[in-house]
Amino acid sequence: MLGTSTIATGTTATVDFQSAQFGWYGDGNAVLTGPGTLATSGVVSVTDWSNNLQLTLAGGITWNSAGTVYDYGWTVLTGGATWNNTGTIYDRYQIQFGTGAGDSATIVNQAGALFDMNSGNSGLAVNGAGTYSFVNAGTLLQDQGGTDRVYVPVTNTGLVKTTNGLLEIYGANLGGTFQAAGGSLALLGTSTIATGTPRRSISNPRRSAGTAMATPSSTARVPWTPAVPPASTTGAVTFNSNWPAASPGTAPARCTTTA
């Protein structure tokens, strides 16, 4: 698919893809624009090995993808676009949020859905200050080594997990589970904690600078001081699965937040 496809206001276009392709290498890119809704199933790919833009979501479109998307090219979300995933997305290159200052875009990874950063060089990037978010109620996974980076603010109520490599998240609204199960997971920048949230249960964490937050233990509990935590915490925290578990069979390093 090349060129621009427009879905009008109040319209839902339902499509079952059978190994379709958005964009085609150097021949051009696909633009999906709203403000209507695209609902898809089946398999669709975004593929390019030459750093060419292959797919743009624009004009306030909502893409509800229930199948499998192999995003192996350069994809841009702009103009209030929302990508709502209830299936599986494999991100092997770069998904860019925004094209300049004041832009907005959102990815929602629903409960039961998988967003897999699986190249060792995957990224969720931003271009210009704007309103961007990655809302994760499912699983955000890194599993192919290397260093994958998320520069979009992450709101997590599901599972963020790395099994191989380093996953860096620049800004998070803490909730759900953050787990390093064979790799390392770094929270950088500012991580936001809801005011009034009680203490957290933390397993085997350490600050990235090497200052221990708690004695390595699968049951370590660290109370906030003061008892009511601030709205945010700055700096970097790394969860590293190389820390020994408290006993054989204990789950790898993880940070689980509980209300």
Which tens digit of pLDDT belongs to each residue from 143-172?
998 999 999 999 998 999 999 899 999 988
* pLDDT at residue number 132: 96
At residue 24 the predicted structure's pLDDT band, cuts being 50, 70 and 90, is confident
The phi, psi pair for 27, rounded to 5°, reads -85, -10
Is the pTM higher than 0.85? The answer reads no
Please tell me whether residue 99 adopts helix, strand or coil conformation. Answer: coil
Tokens at residue 115, please? 């967003």
82-94 burial by CB neighbour count: b if 16+ within 10 A, else e?
bbbbbbbbbbbbb
* Alpha-carbon separation of residue 208 from 108, 180, 211, 239 (angstroms): 29, 14, 7, 8
Residue 116, number of CB atoms within 10 A of its CB? 18
Which tens digit of pLDDT belongs to each residue from 59-118?
999 999 999 999 988 999 999 999 999 999 999 889 999 999 999 999 999 999 999 999
Bond preceding residue 248 cis, omega within 30 of 0: no
Q: Give the pairing type, strands 123-126 and 94-97.
A: parallel
Of the two residues 120 and 113, the one the predictor is more confident about is: 113
Q: Give the pairing type, strands 53-58 and 130-136.
A: unpaired
* pLDDT at residue number 13: 95
The phi, psi pair for 123, rounded to 5°, reads -155, 145
Nearest-angstrom CA–CA distance, 41 and 68: 7
The phi, psi pair for 255, rounded to 5°, reads -125, 115
Please tell me whether residue 25 adopts helix, strand or coil conformation. Answer: helix
Average pLDDT score over residue span 46-71: 90
Q: Give the pairing type, strands 237-240 and 88-91.
A: unpaired
User: What does pLDDT average to over the chain?
Assistant: 79
